[in-house]
Every structure is written in structure tokens, then in C-alpha cells.
Amino acid sequence: MIAASDAKTARIVADFPILAKPTSRGKRLVYLDSAASSQKPHVVIDSLVDYYSNYNANIHRGVYEIAARATDAYEAARAKVAHFINAAEPAEIIFTRNTTEAINLVSFSWGLANLKPGDAILTTQLEHHSNLVPWQLLAAKTGAELRFIEVDDFGNVLLDDLEEKLSGVKLVALTQISNTLGSIVPLDEIVPLAHAAGAVVLVDGAQSVPHMPIDVRDLEVDFFAASGHKMCGPTGIGFLYGRRALLEAMPPFLTGGDMIKSVSYTETSFNELPWKFEAGTSNIADAIALGVACEYLTGVGMEWIREHEIALTRYALERLQPLVPRGLAIYGPPRAEDRAGVISFNFADIHAHDLASILDLEGVCVRAGHHCTMPLMDKFNWPATARASFYLYNTEADIDTLFTALEKAATIFRVP
Amino acid sequence: MDDFYKEYILDHYRNPRNFGHLDAPDASAEDLNPLCGDKIRMELNVDGEGRVADVRFSGKGCAISQASASMLTESIKGRKLEDIARMKMDVVVENVGIGISPTRMKCATLGLKVLKSAALGEIASWPDDEPAATP
């Protein structure tokens, strides 16, 4: 990487207080698990403290000053999220707990109202359980058929028979990036064909929106779901983007307070968008902090983050190469440009869990297991993989430490 | 740190004892650790006095889970099912012989959980953070 970029990375690292804290063994924290959850910059942490310290109040109810301030900040956060993914208007952003809840909202509201026996749902073999289990249940409830776009050995979707597969499909629900393999799904090839077949398209953006510029109108998707905690925001907050026409026609998901216009003992009329889908007191503090996270990421530059991660991935693929003859197997697309900053691997006969434990001794945090994609792991016959994932605050030094830690694992397991 | 995994753990991991299946098991159980996908099956032959005559285990997983199960099978031949059902977690912790972090404890104890389930004929109760209750 060029020097200017190194200086920028150094400034970014300084924004994340946790990265300055050594582990209990005195090692530098090398956080390579951002695909599971990202670290938080101090501006996001500060915004949580600011809300609770200075204007904590319920929203959409109180007439007093701090209630108005909280309401304004919450709705401003919605606008920031809308702007971040270029939604047409803030009302198309529904705050949820996370991607999973956003997908379940569509499944229970849109899905139960629109699917019937003879219809089909099309997804891919890559999906995280959060974008698979809701559709299995919806198919069982409605009598619809669940179909899969298959993937090759690198985790790239196979689209030759897509038009055939789209016959009778009412919903295409697919991830933009595989959280296990880092492969990128070409939405620009799939979405037009899906729409031509009369299907609605839902994208699981949990792994994409933190790492690359997203424009939901350019992608022409109908629903887009994501989680705040993977994009420098807090846990417990995520969002669903939906096109207004679809959201307007959908029945409510959760019901109760705040989502109503008028209630009698026998009848209720529902609130307007987006509040129709936000029953009960919202996660106010975390929504506001998610808005701050969107601004922070915009300040860094989403194009820069994507380029930074490609550069890190390329460096990692080269740096780890000497371990390949000793049994290191790296999965996913071979070229850094064709993948997100996610590298799944196995090393000789060392189980991924043992690897992760040994890496932990060196301060290196990686995920080990099935990554909530058990069917994909079964398809490739991998009991588990270790996964290193990169984000804006990772550096080449982090990958050097990963390499050294892997060498130590080889020593401990007497790998020749 | 080089003895983070003791030599005998690696030996049991790479050369598991009593690995495979029995032709006609009198009791069996299997379970998995959904967090990591570690999977273990235990099969027992029981003699007329209710003692373990033979045992086999099978499965996939990390060195800790597989070595722990392997060592367990070596220690139970001739023991009564009712004793096995009462075995406590400290047995496996001692077997594994390293400081097991809380997240790895489930790996270390999976074999015992499955063995106890086989002995009990039902899924052993196994609270997340406490030793199994004595039946």
C-alpha cells in the first residue's frame, strides 16, 4: 500500500479504542472477525453516552424538550441510513433489531400475504441461516416451493439455468456476499431477470453494506436487510429497506404501541410508514448511534474501504502462500478483486477450533465453525473452517501476525 | 506454549482409540455441538451384569473433543451403566489436562455428555455452566 493510505489507516486505527488495548497475555489485539461483528469507533460509543446522559426520553410521545430532541435524533438517524444506501426517502427504512429480524418481517408480512401453493421462492446455496430458515418455514406454511441457485467450488453462483429456475418464482431472496467464502453475488445479472419473471427481490446485505458502496436504487432491489453491529454501529439495531409501494401494501408484522393511528376496543387503524412496522418503544440510542456509524463510514469513504479490503485480501493471499505446501487450504474465489475481505481456511489436520484457540494465544481473533451456513459446509464436506475477515482498521501487520500465529499452530501440532 | 496441547492429546486425536461402530450395540447416543459442528456418537455393548463389555465412538471435531472422547472410551470398559450415568465433568477436564477456556469446555465434555446419554437411555441434562446433575 502507498504511504498516504498507511497514514490514513493509522488514523482509522486510532479511532477504535479497543484496538489500543492489549490482550490478557499482553499481545496486540489483532481483530480479524469483523464479518461476525465489527469494532466501534469512539464517535459511535460517544453518541450512546451522549443520548443516555443528555436527552434520554421516549420518542413520538413526549411534548417536552428532550423528548423532541430524542425524536429528532432518531428520525435523523433514519434519514442518515436512507442516505447511506441511497433509498428514495427515509420512510423506506424500517429499524429492526438486526438482519434476521428484517428478513423475518418480510417473511411474515409480505410472504404470508403473497405466497400460495404453486408459487416458488428462489435463494442460493450460500445463504446464512438467517436468509434460509425463514424461507423454509414460509414455504412450509404457504405450500410454496423453495429452490436454490447452485454454486461452484469457489462459491460463485451458477446462473446458466437461472431463467428456468425463475419460473413461478414470486420471491428471490439472496445474499450479496457469502459470509463464509467471501464470494460476491452478481446482483446486476440476477435482479433484472428476477423482475422480468415477476419476482420481488430481497437482498441480505449484512456482509455487503459495511464493506462497499451500496445504492439500493441502482441495484433495483425491492428489499434490503442489514445489521448495525457489522458496520461500526451498536448491536441490537439493524434495518430493512423496502420500496414504498411494497411496504404500503404489506400488513404490519409486530403490533402494539406506536404503530397505530387509532385504536378502539374492537378495531385498529395503523400508522403510516415507517412507523407501521415499528411496534413498541424503539431501540432509540442504538438507532441514533447507527446513524453516526453511517456518517463515520461515509467520512472514511466506502470506495476507499472496498479498495483497502481488496489490497489486504491480496496481501493475505500472497503472505499465506508459503503455508500451502504444509497443508493450508484457502477457500473462495482465487482473485482478491472477486471477493470480499473474508478468507476461510483449514490448515493440515488441525481442526478450525484448535486453530482459533492457538491464534487466540497470539491475540489473533478469528471465527471457527460453520459460520451459520451448515448446508454450505455439508455441500463441501467441511466439518468446520477458520475464517479471517478484514475491515477498515486492519493492516498488513495484522496479517503478518496471523501468519506467525499459524506457524506456531503448525509447531504445536507438529505439522511437517 | 508448545505444550498447549499435550502430546497425548495429539496422539488420541490422530489415533483415536475404540473408534468405529459396534455390530449390534445395546445402547447408543449421539449429539453435536451446534456452535462448532463437533459431532460424537457412542455405542455400547452391555453384559448381563449391566457392565460395559465394549464401546466404540465415532464423529468429527476438534482435537479436544475427539481426544477427550477417545480417552473416555479407554476408561469405561467393565464399569456399570449406572456409574457412567453419574460421571462428572471433572473426569474429562482432568483427562484433557490443560486449562480449558469456557468456550472450549463444550468441546471437552461432548463425549461425556453423549456417553451419559447412552447409559441413561435419554439425553443427559447438561446446563451450560454447571456440571451435569447427578441422576
One-character DSSP codes across A342-404: EEEEEETTB-HHHHHHHHHHTTEE-EEE-TT-HHHHHHHT-S-EEEEE--TT--HHHHHHHHH
Which long-range contacts (C-beta less than 8 Å, at least 24 apart) are formed by A190-197? A190/A149, A190/A157, A190/A159, A190/A162, A191/A219, A191/A220, A191/A221, A192/A220, A193/A162, A193/A163, A193/A166, A194/A122, A194/A166, A194/A169, A195/A220, A197/A163, A197/A166, A197/A167, A197/A169
Q: In whole angstroms, what is the distance from residue A12 CA to residue A41 CA?
A: 9
Numbered residues of chain A with Cβ closer than 8 Å to any chain B Cβ: 349-354, 357-358, 361, 368-370, 374, 377, 383-384, 408, 411-414
Tell me if A126 sits within 8 A of A373, measured CB to CB.
yes
Strands A120-124 and A169-175, bridge-based pairing: parallel
Catalytic residues of A: 372
What is the DSSP-derived secondary structure letter of residue A250?
S
Query: Does the distance separating the beta carbons of B4 and A358 come in below 8 Å?
Result: yes
> Over 70: is that where the pLDDT of B3 sits?
no
> HSE of A47 in the Cβ direction (CA atoms, 13 Å)?
24
Whether A280 and A312 share a structural domain:
no
Q: At what angle do helices A302-319 and A396-412 cross, to 10 degrees?
A: 30
Q: In whole angstroms, what is the distance from residue A185 CA to residue A181 CA?
A: 11
- Domain stop point among A252, A268, A299: A299
Query: Does the distance separating the beta carbons of A350 and B63 come in below 8 Å?
Result: yes
Whether A278 and A309 share a structural domain:
no
Q: In whole angstroms, what is the distance from residue A178 CA to residue A207 CA?
A: 7
Whether A359 and A319 share a structural domain:
yes
Q: From chain B, pick out residues whose CB is under 8 angstroms from the CB of A408.
A: 1
Query: Does the distance separating the beta carbons of B10 and A354 come in below 8 Å?
Result: no
> Over 50: is that where the pLDDT of B135 sits?
no
Q: pLDDT at position B128, please?
A: 38
Chain A: closest CA distance from residue B86 (Å): 29
Whether A314 and A205 share a structural domain:
no
| Torsion sign over Cα B108, B110, B113, B119 | negative
> HSE of A373 in the Cβ direction (CA atoms, 13 Å)?
27
Whether A220 and A280 share a structural domain:
yes
Q: pLDDT at position B90, please?
A: 82
Residue A233 phi/psi, 5-degree rounding, is -95, 180
Q: From chain B, pick out residues whose CB is under 8 angstroms from the CB of A411.
A: 2
Point out the residue among B2, B10, B36 whose CB comes nearest to the CB of A384: B36
Say what percent of chain B tops pLDDT 90. 49
Mean pLDDT for the stretch of residues B46-52: 92
Q: pLDDT at position B129, please?
A: 37
Chain A: closest CA distance from residue B129 (Å): 20
Query: Does the distance separating the beta carbons of B4 and A361 come in below 8 Å?
Result: yes
Q: pLDDT at position A150, please?
A: 98
Whether A182 and A92 share a structural domain:
yes
Q: Is the ipTM of this complex over 0.90?
A: no
Q: In whole angstroms, what is the distance from residue B131 CA to residue A308 CA?
A: 47
Instruction: Output the CA–CA distances (angstroms, integers) from residue A83 to A79, A94, A175, A206, A298, in the order listed.
Output: 6, 14, 21, 17, 10
- pTM value is 0.92
Q: How many other C-beta atoms can be found within 10 angstroms of the C-beta atom of residue A281?
A: 13
> Over 60: is that where the pLDDT of B125 sits?
no
Tens of pLDDT, residue by residue, chain A (416 residues) = 455 678 999 999 999 999 999 999 999 999 999 999 999 999 999 999 999 999 999 998 888 999 999 999 999 999 999 999 999 999 999 999 999 999 999 999 999 999 999 999 999 999 999 999 999 999 999 999 999 999 999 999 999 999 999 999 999 999 999 999 999 999 999 999 999 999 999 999 999 999 999 999 999 999 999 999 999 999 999 999 999 999 999 999 999 988 888 999 999 999 999 999 999 999 999 999 999 999 999 999 999 999 999 999 999 999 999 999 999 999 999 999 999 999 999 999 999 999 999 999 999 999 998 889 989 999 999 889 999 999 999 999 999 999 999 999 999 999 99
DSSP run (H or E) holding A4: helix A3-14
Whether A147 and A226 share a structural domain:
yes
**The residue count for chain A:** 416
Report the phi/psi class of residue A363: left, alpha or beta, with left for phi > 0 and alpha for psi in -120 to 50.
left
> Over 80: is that where the pLDDT of B122 sits?
no
Q: In whole angstroms, what is the distance from residue A236 CA to residue A282 CA?
A: 10
DSSP run (H or E) holding B110: helix B102-120
Q: From chain B, pick out residues whose CB is under 8 angstroms from the CB of A375.
A: none
Residue B32, strand partner residues: B39
* Amino acid at the residue A90: P
The C-alpha cell 430532541 sits at A69
Chain B: closest CA distance from residue A182 (Å): 20
**Closest-CA residue to A235 (of A23, A36, A76):** A36
Q: What is the CATH number for A328?
A: 3.90.1150.10
Strands (E) across A245-316 are located at 260-263, 268-270
Numbered residues of chain B with Cβ closer than 8 Å to any chain A Cβ: 1-2, 4-5, 10, 14, 35-39, 60-64, 101, 104, 107
Whether A159 and A234 share a structural domain:
yes
Tell me if A109 sits within 8 A of A138, measured CB to CB.
no
- Residue in chain A closest to B103 (alpha carbons) equals A357
How many degrees, rounded to 5, is the angle at CA A211 between CA A399 and CA A237? 115
Chain B: closest CA distance from residue A362 (Å): 10
Query: Does the distance separating the beta carbons of A377 and B37 come in below 8 Å?
Result: yes
- A103: in domain: yes
Q: From chain A, pick out residues whose CB is under 8 angstroms from the CB of B110.
A: none
- Domain stop point among A299, A331, A351: A299
Q: pLDDT at position B91, please?
A: 80
Query: Does the distance separating the beta carbons of B104 and A413 come in below 8 Å?
Result: no
Chain A: closest CA distance from residue B1 (Å): 8
| Helix/strand/coil for B130 | coil
Which residues, 6+ apart, have CB-to-CB distance to B45 below 8 Å? B22, B24, B25, B26, B52, B53, B54, B55
Give me the helices (H) in A36-167, please: 42-54, 65-84, 99-105, 112-114, 133-142, 162-165
Point out the residue among A349, A357, A374 whose CB comes nearest to the CB of B104: A357
- A232: in domain: yes
Whether A312 and A293 share a structural domain:
no
Q: From chain A, pick out residues whose CB is under 8 angstroms from the CB of B8.
A: none
Q: In whole angstroms, what is the distance from residue A306 CA to residue A332 CA?
A: 17
- A37: in domain: no
Mean pLDDT for the stretch of residues B19-36: 89
- A36: in domain: no
- Domain stop point among A299, A318, A345: A299
Complete domains list, chain B, with CATH: 7-120 (3.90.1010.10)
Domain containing A405 equals 3-31+301-412
Whether A73 and A98 share a structural domain:
yes
Query: Does the distance separating the beta carbons of A361 and B35 come in below 8 Å?
Result: no
Q: pLDDT at position B1, please?
A: 45
Torsion of the alpha carbons at A365, A288, A202 and A242, rounded to the nearest 10: 180
The number of folded domains in chain A is 2
Q: What is the DSSP string of B85-99?
A: HT--THHHHHHH-S-
Query: Does the distance separating the beta carbons of B61 and A351 come in below 8 Å?
Result: yes
- Residue in chain A closest to B35 (alpha carbons) equals A369
> Over 50: is that where the pLDDT of B131 sits?
no
Whether A60 and A161 share a structural domain:
yes
> Over 60: is that where the pLDDT of B132 sits?
no
Q: pLDDT at position A375, please?
A: 92
Whether A232 and A369 share a structural domain:
no
Chain A to chain B Cβ contacts (< 8 Å): 50
For residue A32 the three cell numbers come to 480479524
- A38: in domain: no
Give me the helices (H) in A157-283, please: 162-165, 187-196, 216-219, 244-249
**Closest-CA residue to B44 (of B8, B79, B2, B6):** B79
